[in-house]
Structure 1
Amino acid sequence: MENYRPWLNFRGGWLVALSAAMIASPVIAETPNFGKFNLSPGFETAKAKFTGFTGGSFSLSAISNRDRDRNVCIGFADPKPDHIMVLEKDFSRLKVLVNSRGNDTTLLIKGPDDKTIRCGDDTGKSKDASIDDEQWKRGSYKIWVGAFKPGVKYDYTLIVQEK
């Protein structure tokens, strides 16, 4: 068996082996800009306040034009999520709101799967964004806090309330 090369008898040899190795490699978790937090039913609202600031020119509509309730997804933020919220159990209702002292903010929450999107804009007469919704399933949620205009920086507090 002169010049016997068993890997050549394997169709797609190296390409298939390389593809399998890449699939088996661990996925690196996306690190949020301002941190990750976990919530269980009965959490204290006082402990569910997180700070950050808007800024960026990434259009949140690139993630989704509309959310699961057909609300428009607008605003500009960093491409990385600002926060990751981990719900340790299902919640029947949650309210997530932004307090930037009335600046024009937006909100996009993606999770616990890649198909479930929630978007929020003005809250009543305030320009601060909020999302008040039902059926929050256990899992990880990526949260982007945006500004209505690109590149605008507003300091904010993100508040999560159990209803």
Structure 2
Amino acid sequence: MKNFRFWLQFRGSWLLAMMTAMIVTPVAAQTANFGTIKLSPGFEPVKGKGIGYTGGSYSLSAMSNRDRDKKVCIGFGDPNPDHILVLEKDFDNLKILINSGVDTTLFIKGRDDGIIRCGDDTGRNKDASVIDKQWRSGTYLIWVGTFYPGLKRNYTLTVEQ
């Protein structure tokens, strides 16, 4: 009976630890799956590029189901951000685009200010984009998602002024 109670306590503690890790990891993540992009106003277009692949099963809407403009945040990605964007100065306007040929989503979280920006289809294109104003200098965590968990597709991320 003692062994059974110990097993139940261990199993419950392990389950609680796993659930906490799954919830906390995306918010506290410090490294990106595919690297960091550092930009200042007037950057060369080649510096605003990154590559990666989708494939996670973590619901991005679990971090926030709406962004600051009330757009719905959707898709599945990895618990860790795919890219980290460091803006060395303020930007009046930025456009972040995904090119994969599949239906992608974007989830961007300002690590310093907590502002959430989400993107989905771009016109007739099913790839995601976020076009916004008033990007403050600081660090932004970027997740590239898909509508189906675990769907692995290569993509190019492009940041434009």
TM superposition score normalised by structure 1: 0.79
Aligned residues of 2:39 and 2:47 also touching (Cα < 8 A) = no
Offset of residue 161 of structure 1: 0.1
Deviations 1:118-152 (A, max 9, x none): 00000000000000000000000000000111110
1:88–1:62 Cα change, 3 Å: same
Offset of residue 115 of structure 1: 2.7
1:91–1:112 Cα change, 3 Å: farther
DSSP-derived class of the 1:68 partner: coil
Note the 1:11-160 alignment, pairs <5 A: 30-101=30-101, 103-113=102-112, 115-160=114-159
Aligned residues of 1:73 and 1:108 also touching (Cα < 8 A) = yes
Return the alpha-carbon distance in structure 2 between the equivalents of residues 152 and 45 of structure 1.
Answer: 29
Offset of residue 29 of structure 1: 6.4
After the TM superposition, list the runs of 4 or more consecutive aligned residues in structure 1 that deviate by more than 2 angstroms.
112-115
AA aligned to 1:134 is K
Gaps (5+ residues) in structure 1?
1-27
DSSP-derived class of the 1:133 partner: strand
Return the alpha-carbon distance in structure 1 between the equivalents of residues 51 and 98 of structure 2.
Answer: 9
1:134–1:112 Cα change, 3 Å: farther
1:90–1:114 Cα change, 3 Å: closer
- How many residue pairs get matched? 134
Deviations 1:86-115 (A, max 9, x none): 0000000000000002x0000000004353
AA aligned to 2:106 is L
More helix by share: 2
1:153–1:29 Cα change, 3 Å: closer
Return the alpha-carbon distance in structure 1 between the equivalents of residues 40 and 87 of structure 2.
Answer: 6
1:130–1:29 Cα change, 3 Å: closer
Deviations 1:5-59 (A, max 9, x none): xxxxxxxxxxxxxxxxxxxxxxx96110000111000001122111000011100
Larger Cα-atom Rg = 1
Task: Among all aligned residue pairs of Structure 1 and Structure 2, give the percentage whose two residues are the same amino acid.
Answer: 66
AA aligned to 1:123 is T
Return the alpha-carbon distance in structure 2 between the equivalents of residues 40 and 112 of structure 1.
Answer: 18
TM superposition score normalised by structure 2: 0.80
Aligned residues of 2:29 and 2:81 also touching (Cα < 8 A) = no
AA aligned to 1:94 is L
Gaps (5+ residues) in structure 2?
1-27
